[in-house]
Amino acid sequence: MTIIKSEFSLALNQVATERGISVDDVLSSIELAIVAAYKKEYPEKIEEIKATVNKDTGGTKIFENDKDITPPGFGRIAAQTAKQVILQKIREAEKKTVAAHYQSQVGTVVKGRIIRYDSYSASVDIGKAEAILPKEEQMNNYQYKVNDNLIVYLKEISNDKFDNPRIIVSHSHPKLIEELFKREVPEIANGSIEIKKVVREPGERTKIAVTSTQSGVDPVGACVGQKGVRVQTVIDELGGGEKIDIIQWNKDEKLFLIAALSPAKIISVEIDKTDKRAKVIVEEKEAPLAIGKGGINVNLASRLTEFEIDIVQIKPIPPENKVSEEKLKA
């Protein structure tokens, strides 16, 4: 009995060559699939069943305890099974090829379009492949819809339980912010500005600490851009609802804490370097700004500076008694 007669060997070797699939691997998969098809067709056969496929002719035989029991007319089932296995192997090889193409892009941003969405994940068309945007990588307050265009961070490529590659993208990763600023700010791309750290509450607020590696370059001004055009471009690419605070990094921990808590005006800062805690004094009217809605400002500042921050409110004090930033350095 022959599955695809003279074309079988040519087709098998062509697929193996073009797709980088082992001929023996394909044959082994075909044989296992044919055994399964035979048992489905003849469920009363419970003995040890084995199938062999001739890789030159496609000839297939079914054996039971080394006895040829190939039934008449089984060729059509065997042929269809072989075709399905080969097509499946082609699809698997294509997925791996595409995954290898995107492997070099892990850690960068890519453009995508949502093609499916449910309450757990979104499927995103990123060009040559379909990526997965899991629930934990989404913005909590973002309304995802089919056909939405997104800028996403290509987080990783992993294998599922069937060993198929899965491209995972993120809309909430802090690295997405960093990569977007690299695209918009030439001074970051050429190394004259360094991003020290990014902390984020996705969809709500981000704080990014930057510093200059070259004299004469204003890191905050360069990131904001003329009339705010650069930072606004990043905000728009995130959907327009996320506020971004660009902070001047400072090796002086007190000054860095003051900058991190902007736009609140700080009276004084006391730090405990051993316990990594900071006591920050503000006037009552400045406390809401320092803390932020739901504590978001102080929490992000804490993550940015790596200090636990305690906000202490006091009554307004005369201007002459306020401590300047220069005195805070003392």
Supply the CATH number for residue 137's domain.
2.40.50.140
Q: Which of 192, 221, 249 finishes a domain?
A: 249
Residues 289, 257, 240, 139, Cα dihedral to 10°: -100
My answer on whether 239 and 295 are in the same domain is no
Which of 10-24, 95-109, 197-211, 242-256 comes out lowest in average pLDDT?
Answer: 10-24
Residues 96 and 115 in one domain: no
Q: How many domains does the chain have?
A: 4
Q: What is the pLDDT of residues 215-235, one digit of tens each?
A: 899 999 999 999 999 999 999
Q: Which of the 8 DSSP states describes residue 187?
A: H
Which CATH number goes with the domain that contains 219?
Answer: 3.30.300.20
- Give the residue-averaged pLDDT of 54-82: 77
Residue 233 and residue 298 share a domain: no
- Residue 318 above 70 pLDDT? no
Q: What is the structure's pLDDT at 319?
A: 64
Instruction: Give the DSSP H or E segment for 310.
Output: strand 308-314
Predicted confidence at residue 76, as pLDDT, reads: 74
For the ranges 25-34, 234-243, 261-270, 295-304, the lowest mean pLDDT is seen at 25-34
Q: What is the pLDDT of residue 61?
A: 83
Q: What average pLDDT does the structure give for the chain?
A: 85
What average pLDDT does the segment 10-23 reach?
68
